[in-house]
Amino acid sequence: MSNPPVTGTPTAEPKLLQWVEEMVALCKPSAVHWVDGSEDENQQLCDLLVEKGTFTRLNPEIRPNSYLARSKPSDVARVEDRTFICSRRKGNAGPTNNWMHPREMKVIMNEKFDGSMAGRTMYVIPFCMGPPDSPLAKIGIELTDSAYVVVNMRIMCHTGRHVLERYESEMRGDAPKGRQGYGYFVPCVHSVGVPLAAGVEDNDPWPCNDEKYIVHFPETREIWSYGSGYGGNALLGKKCLALRIASCIGRDNNWMAEHMLVLGLESPDGEKTYIAGAFPSACGKTNLAMIVPPKEYEGWKTSIIGDDIAWLWPHKDGRLHAINPETGYFGVAPGTSYETNPIAMESMKENSIFTNVGLTDDGDVWWEGLTKEPPAHLIDWKGEDWEPGCGRLAAHPNARFTAPAKQCPTIDPEWQNPEGVPVSAFIFGGRRPSTMPLVYQAFNWSHGVYVGATMGSEVTAAAAGLKAGVRRDPMAMLPFCGYNMGDYLHHWYDMRRHLTEFPRFFHVNWFRRDDEGNYLWPGFGQNMRVLEWIVNRCRGKVAGHETPIGWRPKYSDFNFDGLENFSHYDFEKAMNFSYDEWKEEIISQGELYMKLYDPMPKEMIYQKELLTGRLS
Give 18-33 pLDDT, tens digit per residue: 999 999 999 999 999 9
- DSSP H or E segment with residue 153: helix 147-156
Name the domain count of the chain.
3
Q: Say whether 283 counts as a known binding-site residue.
A: yes
Report the chain's C-alpha Rg in angstroms.
24
* pLDDT in the model for residue 468: 52
* pLDDT in the model for residue 597: 74
| Claim to verify: residue 527 and residue 542 sit in the same structural domain | yes
- Residue 175 counted as domain residue: yes
- Residue 62 counted as domain residue: no
Q: Say whether 399 counts as a known binding-site residue.
A: yes
Q: How confident is the model at residue 394 (pLDDT cuts 50, 70, 90)?
A: very high
| Claim to verify: residue 97 and residue 236 sit in the same structural domain | yes
| Residue 128 among the catalytic residues | no
Alpha carbon separation from 397 to 11, 330, 369, 393, 501 (Å, rounded):
41, 14, 11, 8, 41
Give the number of C-alpha atoms closer than 13 A to the C-alpha of residue 107, restricted to the C-beta side: 4
Among the candidates 224, 253, 282, a domain finishes at 253
Give the number of C-alpha atoms closer than 13 A to the C-alpha of residue 389, restricted to the C-beta side: 1
Residues 463-485, mean pLDDT to the nearest whole number: 80
| Claim to verify: residue 320 and residue 334 sit in the same structural domain | no
* pLDDT in the model for residue 590: 85
Alpha carbon separation from 339 to 252, 291, 342, 560 (Å, rounded):
43, 11, 6, 20
* pLDDT in the model for residue 202: 87
- Supply the DSSP string of 330-369, one letter for each residue: EEE-TT--TTT-HHHHHHTSSS-EEES-EEETTS-EE-TT
Q: Say whether 398 counts as a known binding-site residue.
A: yes
| Average pLDDT for the chain | 95
- Residue 233 counted as domain residue: yes
Q: How confident is the model at residue 176 (pLDDT cuts 50, 70, 90)?
A: confident
Using the predicted structure, report yes or no on whether residue 411 has a pLDDT greater than 60.
yes
| 310, 260 contact by CB (below 8 A) | yes
Task: Read off the pTM.
Answer: 0.96
Q: Say whether 281 counts as a known binding-site residue.
A: yes
- Residue 316 counted as domain residue: yes
Q: Say whether 526 counts as a known binding-site residue.
A: yes
CATH number at residue 390: 2.170.8.10
| Claim to verify: residue 558 and residue 482 sit in the same structural domain | yes
Using the predicted structure, report yes or no on whether residue 593 has a pLDDT greater than 50.
yes
CATH number at residue 465: 3.90.228.20
Q: Say whether 231 counts as a known binding-site residue.
A: yes
Residues 244-263, mean pLDDT to the nearest whole number: 97
**Catalytic annotation, pick one of 283, 408, 481, 538:** 283
Rounded Cα distance between 136 and 139, Å, is 10
| Claim to verify: residue 305 and residue 451 sit in the same structural domain | yes
| 179, 349 contact by CB (below 8 A) | no
- Residue 66 counted as domain residue: no
- Residue 564 counted as domain residue: yes
CATH number at residue 243: 3.40.449.10
Alpha carbon separation from 330 to 306, 309, 488 (Å, rounded):
11, 11, 25
| Claim to verify: residue 244 and residue 360 sit in the same structural domain | no
Among the candidates 407, 425, 448, a domain finishes at 407
Give me the sign of the Cα torsion angle 184, 41, 78, 287.
positive
Provide the domain limits for residue 400.
329-407
Q: Say whether 282 counts as a known binding-site residue.
A: yes
The 3-state DSSP class for residue 49 equals helix
Using the predicted structure, report yes or no on whether residue 568 has a pLDDT greater than 50.
yes
| Claim to verify: residue 367 and residue 443 sit in the same structural domain | no
* pLDDT in the model for residue 331: 92
- Quote the DSSP letter at residue 418: T
| 439, 506 contact by CB (below 8 A) | yes
Rounded Cα distance between 456 and 294, Å, is 29
Using the predicted structure, report yes or no on whether residue 114 has a pLDDT greater than 90.
yes
| Claim to verify: residue 427 and residue 572 sit in the same structural domain | yes
Using the predicted structure, report yes or no on whether residue 121 has a pLDDT greater than 60.
yes
* pLDDT in the model for residue 185: 96
- Residue 187 counted as domain residue: yes
| Claim to verify: residue 236 and residue 290 sit in the same structural domain | no
| Claim to verify: residue 305 and residue 339 sit in the same structural domain | no
* pLDDT in the model for residue 466: 46
Strand ranges of the sheet holding 439-441, from the earlier edge strand across to the other edge = 301-306, 260-266, 272-278, 425-428, 504-508, 439-441, 550-552, 545-547
Percent of the chain whose pLDDT exceeds 90: 90
- Residue 46 counted as domain residue: no
User: Strands 504-508 and 425-428, how do they pair?
Assistant: parallel
The phi-psi region of residue 380 (left if phi > 0; otherwise alpha if psi is between -120 and 50; otherwise beta) is beta
Rounded Cα distance between 341 and 595, Å, is 38
* pLDDT in the model for residue 611: 97
Give me the sign of the Cα torsion angle 280, 284, 290, 293.
negative
Q: Say whether 400 counts as a known binding-site residue.
A: yes
| Claim to verify: residue 184 and residue 204 sit in the same structural domain | yes
Q: Say whether 308 counts as a known binding-site residue.
A: yes
| Claim to verify: residue 248 and residue 279 sit in the same structural domain | no
Q: How confident is the model at residue 459 (pLDDT cuts 50, 70, 90)?
A: low
Among the candidates 204, 236, 253, a domain finishes at 253
How many Cβ atoms are within 10 Å of 578's Cβ, its own excluded?
12
* pLDDT in the model for residue 72: 97
